[in-house]
Amino acid sequence: MDLITEGAITFETEGAFYNPRMDALAASGIRGMRVAKEAQVEAVSLNDISQEARQLMERNLARNALTASVTCLNANVLLHERHFQAVDLDPFGSPSSYLSAASRSAREYLFVTATDTAPLCGAHLMSGIRKYMAVPLRTSYHREMGARILLGLVARELARLDKSMQPLLTHVTDHYVRIYLGVGKGAKAADRCLQNLGYVEHCFGCGSFYLLREPKGSGVCRRCSCKTTLAGPLWLGRIQDAAAIGKALNITQLSRRAEKILTACAAEIEAPMYYDHHGICERLSITPGRIDLAVERLKACGFQASRTHFSGLGIKTDASMADVEEAIRIS
């Protein structure tokens, strides 16, 4: 029998889905056990519809001298019947079929993972529309678009229940999207939350994009007059909470990889989407310079600008495509 150690927990998987880079709960119970032991949460509930997975979780709990409520139920049934302070939704594939129940069950926090990045990011258009009730586009900033489409869907699910959300941390790593949300109550708060929903009008000709509150794009790029395409609805509000991320960075058990992701997320400016540095250089037929120099040039011109964890080649800024091109040319 092979044992795996992650953080302060030693466990077996016995064929259950486990990806150490995803830090997935899956059928082994690893995430819930780490929460119980490392975050010292007294009451943790673990659920999987498989009886074999339930037995596996019970063995792993005993191995680590931990106690938790272990159930073997359909997740939607459990989440409709009970309320929890925090709900961690980490299915294999799309979380969309569980979001209604999870939104109802979560009192203070809701954490959601989506591993079906192809539909979310526009590679499988119709699948993305069916699962997320939004139009995704395969753009140079598709990773952030996928995250914001997921956030938009959760915001709408919570609003139906007179609940609101505050994104604490959003990241797209490897092949999954992960969002951490604070959940609030009240119809007025839900209404304010919905004001963060909108659309992106994208030009595949010059790469410009425009943020819209209503699905009423002009259909023509203001810069190059090419036809534009509309994406959304999606979340246009803040996706990172620097204060919350700062608290997480103070945890001494963080891996070097986790620390790198959190640091990058905390440093991102609020402007939605990003520009692809090398893509712009290729279109302009110029040799790519240092991305950091382009970022600093934009700041010197009075714009907000930062790197982004979504892409090593990405520049987040409130500047227009023309301003970004100029900053890249002289950097």
Strands 106-114 and 84-89: parallel
pLDDT at site 214: 94
- Its pTM stands at 0.91
| Residue 53 pLDDT level (bands cut at 50, 70, 90) | confident
Residue carrying structure tokens 């919570």 = 158
DSSP states along 250-299: T-TT--HHHHHHHHHHHH--S-SS-EEHHHHHHHHT-----HHHHHHHHH
pLDDT at site 207: 96
Q: Average of pLDDT values for 25-44? A: 79
Residue 103 near residue 158, CB atoms below 8 Å: yes
Q: Considering only the top CATH level, what class is 275-330?
A: alpha beta
| Residue 263 pLDDT level (bands cut at 50, 70, 90) | very high
| Residue 31 pLDDT level (bands cut at 50, 70, 90) | confident
At 84, give phi and psi (nearest 5°): -130, 150
| Residue 155 pLDDT level (bands cut at 50, 70, 90) | very high
DSSP states along 76-111: HHHHHH--EEEEEE--SS--GGGHHHHHHHEEEEEE
CA angle 264, 241, 79 (to 5 degrees): 110
For residue 302, the Cα-to-chain-centroid distance in whole angstroms is: 29
pLDDT at 1 over 60: no
Instruction: Identify the weakest region by mean pLDDT among 47-61, 176-190, 272-286, 299-313.
Output: 47-61
pLDDT at 6 over 60: no
Q: Say which residue, 320 or 5, is predicted with more confidence.
A: 320
Omega before residue 119 within 30° of 0, cis: no
User: Where are the chain's structural domains?
Assistant: 275-330
Nearest residue to 96 via CA among 77, 112, 118 = 112
Residue 131 near residue 96, CB atoms below 8 Å: yes
Q: Is 73 exposed, middle or buried (0-12, 13-18, 19+ CB in 10 A)?
A: middle
pLDDT at site 251: 80
Whole-number Cα distances in Å, 115 to 24, 142, 192, 253 = 11, 14, 29, 25
Instruction: Identify the weakest region by mean pLDDT among 38-47, 101-110, 148-157, 226-235.
Output: 38-47
Instruction: Identify the weakest region by mean pLDDT among 4-18, 70-84, 125-139, 313-327.
Output: 4-18
Where b means 16+ CB within 10 Å and e means fewer, 6-18 reads beebebbbbebeb
User: What is the Cα–Cα distance from 38 to 126, expressed in whole angstroms?
Assistant: 41
pLDDT at site 253: 76
pLDDT at site 26: 43
pLDDT tens for each residue of 58-96: 999 999 989 889 998 899 999 999 999 999 999 889 999
Q: What is the mean pLDDT of the chain?
A: 91
